[in-house]
């Protein structure tokens, strides 16, 4: 009798493993995650609400203070829009974007009443860059600059042609092959070799100039992926343009496959 029960349990386990349900045999998949960065002129905080094609609510982000990013919001593996909401109500709804399982994104809220409001959705790499390198890209959210150049200088070295990484980055865009002579991946990153330690200075200049309009110290560690964010300084700041660096790696998704029967 006990032997019959044991055999039955083994058979049931094999059947369950073989079925795999609707996930195709993959368990522990993570739903898409999206963080919100606020670069909207005149809005001290914004949040975003996500909806699918049938206008079902997929979730709301936390409030994003100006020039900062929220924690991730979990949404669904589907095509969805994001509505950015400010102090007086909805500002703009993005075009539909496909949010994939096991993926992380940043929604950049930008613009203002004069320029118009916009939302820019970009996928964030969760890989580890190979060898002694780091990954870097840039987004240009500053309404005060039609296009900018980005320099990534080791330590406290000055901006120079040798450390120019991106040029002619236009307002409201993320870096692509048109902004650099280096190889660019599908999400706008280039791989840069580690130069000495992981301390760098980021310089933003008007296109064709070596005179910085914004600077920031940054730690760019081996294996990391990072986004340089150019945005309008808040009221009362010493300079009209600011820059910061976001680390793009959050929790790397882990996917396990069930054994085949």
pTM of the model: 0.85
Give the model's confidence band at 252: pLDDT under 50 very low, under 70 low, under 90 confident, else very high. Answer: low
30-84: per-residue pLDDT in tens? 899 999 999 999 999 999 999 999 999 999 999 999 999 999 999 999 999 999 9
Task: Tell me the C-alpha distance between 175 and 1, whole Å.
Answer: 68
Domain assignments of the chain as residue spans, ordered by start = 22-124, 126-249
Task: Tell me the C-alpha distance between 91 and 108, whole Å.
Answer: 13
Question: To which residue do tokens 């999206």 refer?
Answer: 34
Write the class of the CATH domain 126-249.
mainly beta
Domains 22-124 and 126-249 share a fold: yes
Average pLDDT over residues 145-172: 96
103-116: per-residue pLDDT in tens? 999 999 999 999 99
170 bridge partner residues: 147
Write the class of the CATH domain 22-124.
mainly beta
């Amino acid at each position: 009798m006990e032997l019959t029960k044991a055999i039955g349990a083994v058979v049931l386990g094999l059947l369950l493993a073989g079925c795999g349900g609707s996930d195709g045999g993959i368990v522990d998949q993570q739903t898409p995650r999206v963080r919100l960065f606020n670069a909207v002129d005149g809005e001290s905080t914004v949040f975003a609400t996500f909806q699918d094609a049938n206008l079902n609510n997929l979730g709301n982000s936390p409030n994003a203070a100006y020039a900062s990013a929220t924690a991730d919001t979990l949404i669904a593996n589907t095509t969805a829009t994001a509505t950015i909401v400010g102090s007086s109500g909805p500002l703009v709804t993005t075009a539909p974007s496909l949010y994939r399982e096991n993926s992380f994104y940043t929604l950049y809220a930008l613009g203002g009443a004069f320029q118009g409001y916009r939302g820019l959705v970009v996928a964030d790499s969760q890989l580890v860059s190979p060898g002694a390198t780091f990954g870097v890209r840039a987004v240009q959210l500053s309404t005060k600059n039609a296009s900018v150049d980005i320099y990534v200088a080791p330590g406290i070295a000055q901006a120079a042609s040798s450390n120019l990484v991106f040029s002619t980055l236009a307002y409201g865009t993320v870096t692509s092959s048109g902004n650099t002579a280096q190889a660019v991946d599908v999400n706008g990153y280039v791989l840069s070799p580690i130069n000495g330690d992981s301390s760098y200075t980021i310089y933003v200049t008007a296109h064709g100039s070596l005179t910085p309009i914004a600077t920031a110290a940054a730690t760019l560690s081996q294996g990391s992926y990072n986004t340089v964010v150019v945005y309008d300084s808040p009221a009362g700041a010493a300079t009209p343009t600011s820059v910061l660096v976001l680390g793009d790696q959050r929790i790397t998704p882990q996917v396990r496959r069930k054994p085949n029967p």
